[in-house]
Amino acid sequence: MNDIQRAEVARLNRTVDKFAELMKRRLMEKLLKGYSGWDGEHPAGDLCQQIGQDALRIACTGLTDQEISLRSIDIANRAMFLLYRAEVRQEEQFKTGFARIQKVRDAIVQKTKGERGITGDMDCPACGTGRLRYSVARCNGHVHARCSTENCVSFME
Ligand SMILES: [Zn+2]
């Protein structure tokens, strides 16, 4: 990277940081006004429509700079909602799902103390409300487990 590119990257980073600050401020304003549901359904036609309407307003009418800024921030925030719904939420769910399985597996290993060829049940350490049924295979020690709570853990190794 040359000096001109480095300066441009620094300028872009400063601008994105400033933009992110404005996005956060606007989100807080909306939250305090009672808006919610940003992490809602996916795909979300209404979000795309609102982004389109804001973009059209910027393109077609004689808005003031302040109004253009506001519309731009709203577009960015809605785009962030779309990103969250399409990607980030899945990553979060994957991580928490994986963490749940590990917690359950550890509890089963601790309870069975390495014994194989057994089945049993216990209070689910993941959700705290369900009953967890498990088995440890005699041949290879693989753990199978299923919680009675819907959408809690269910796995076999
Ligand atoms: Zn559970």
Between the CA of 144 and the centroid of ligand 1 the distance, in Å, is 14
Neighbours of 114 (CB within 10 A): 8
Between the CA of 148 and the centroid of ligand 1 the distance, in Å, is 6
Same domain, 110 and 69: no
Sign of the CA dihedral running 85, 33, 24, 66: positive
Between the CA of 120 and the centroid of ligand 1 the distance, in Å, is 15
Between the CA of 113 and the centroid of ligand 1 the distance, in Å, is 21
User: What's the pTM value of the predicted model, to 2 decimals?
Assistant: 0.66
Using CA atoms, how far apart are residues 129 and 97, in angstroms rounded to an integer?
A: 16
Neighbours of 84 (CB within 10 A): 17
Q: Per residue in 14-47, pLDDT tens? A: 999 999 999 999 999 999 999 999 998 888 889 9
Q: What are phi and psi of 54, to 5 degrees?
A: -65, -40
Between the CA of 143 and the centroid of ligand 1 the distance, in Å, is 16
Between the CA of 137 and the centroid of ligand 1 the distance, in Å, is 21
Using CA atoms, how far apart are residues 108 and 62, in angstroms rounded to an integer?
A: 66
Q: How many structural domains comprise the chain?
A: 2
Residue 121 has pLDDT above 90, yes or no: yes
- Lookup: tokens for 34: 């009672």
Using CA atoms, how far apart are residues 53 and 26, in angstroms rounded to an integer?
A: 18
Same domain, 50 and 99: no
Percent of the chain with pLDDT over 90: 80
Same domain, 39 and 88: yes
Same domain, 79 and 104: no
Between the CA of 100 and the centroid of ligand 1 the distance, in Å, is 9
Between the CA of 145 and the centroid of ligand 1 the distance, in Å, is 10
Same domain, 54 and 118: no
Domain that holds residue 25: 3-92
- Single-letter residue type at 121: D
Same domain, 26 and 81: yes
Between the CA of 12 and the centroid of ligand 1 the distance, in Å, is 46
Note the pLDDT of residue 112.
Answer: 94
Between the CA of 110 and the centroid of ligand 1 the distance, in Å, is 17
